Amino acid sequence: MANNKTRTTNGRGRLFNSILDTVGDTPCIRINNLAPEGVSLYVKAEFFNPLSSVKDRLALNIIEAAERNGTLKPGQTVVEATSGNTGIGLAMVCAQKGYPLVVTMADSFSIERRKLMRILGAKVVLTPRAQKGFGMYQKAAELAKANGWFLASQFETAANADIHEMTTAREIMADFAGQRLDYFVSGYGTGGTITGVSRVLRKERPDTKIILTEPANAQLVGSGKPQERNEDGTASVGHSAFEPHPIQGWTPDFIPQVLQELLDNKNYDELLPVPGGEAVSWAQKLASKEGILTGISGGATFAVAMKVAEKAAPGSVILCMLPDTGERYMTTPLFDSIAEDMDEEEIALSRSTPGYQLG
């Protein structure tokens, strides 16, 4: 797409007191090369957050809500179970505010995530992958109880969906003010994004159809089977419909209490599952055809948005969430087909001129 204008910038017009003040206000970006003709498709690029994921919002609000209500004391250790992004966001917040952080994480998640949390000062306690998300979740609760630590409880806390109601949804409303918004597409990890955004869309944009998605081989919501819970709302066992899937950050092996609000209130219009292979493929296409580098979960959401777009009426406008960056997935299937060394075409290019050749 040609652009004959010289680009200029003017700064943000403000100075920031800390990294925490840069959370939110992520852009909605038009898809120009992959979207079907006659449909406007946008992605909300959450990798513009300071630690490159949507979970920066949640992490900040969990800590600040706990500070306000007194459940988190100065200098108290914070502990949380995470597949990575929430832990990375919490590590940023805790580093800035001076709280020690311990993260529990199944050893099946990408090594990059462990290193990112550790460079930000967190301690990472790995749990066996065979015990799945429920195992790391139970380990965090065990450590909190044994040591008197503050358990962040991302899967249950009201601070989760609240921050998306107050920020993510308000940004969407402002960006699409005076314009159509026919579909909003999101998967779920904790469920905070789609639950919080749906609260606002149902009231202020009731014509917008809300599309929920989950892995095709781990259809917890799609199974129709309820989650077994303790009296406090926490999951008591893993969900029977869960199977391991490659969409890291999505769909733990239980239905989070945060998501349960969405399900109970029927605040979504359609559930569309997505295979892991399609998630990887569409994330790669977004990178190579649009210059947008997102993770496997972003590829999964985009894959579903493309399915919606293919059937949508002409003129429809679709927005889908891209939860994080692709750089968080270097040791995952997203990059398995991406070579480190030159391929035959690159070697031929190198040999097409006489100098500076390897070997």
Report the percentage of the chain scoring pLDDT > 90.
Answer: 91
DSSP summary character for residue 288: I
Burial class (CB in 10 A: 0-12, 13-18, 19+), 343: exposed
Catalytic-labelled residue, pool 52, 186, 297, 316: 297
Nearest by Cα to 327 from 302, 293, 297: 293
How many other β-carbons are positioned within 10 Å of the β-carbon of residue 3? 6
Nearest by Cα to 159 from 18, 289, 54, 64: 64
Determine the length of the chain.
Answer: 359
pTM: 0.94
Q: Which residue type is seen at 350?
A: S
Helical segments of 206-295, H only: 257-264, 276-285
Q: Above 70 in pLDDT, residue 1?
A: no
Catalytic-labelled residue, pool 44, 55, 139, 209: 55
Active site residue 266: no
Active site residue 297: yes
Domains in the chain: ranges and CATH: 19-48+168-335 (3.40.50.1100), 55-151 (3.40.50.1100)
pLDDT in tens, 80-137: 999 889 999 999 999 999 999 999 999 988 899 999 999 999 999 999 999 988 899 8
pLDDT in tens, 324-351: 999 999 999 999 999 999 999 999 999 9
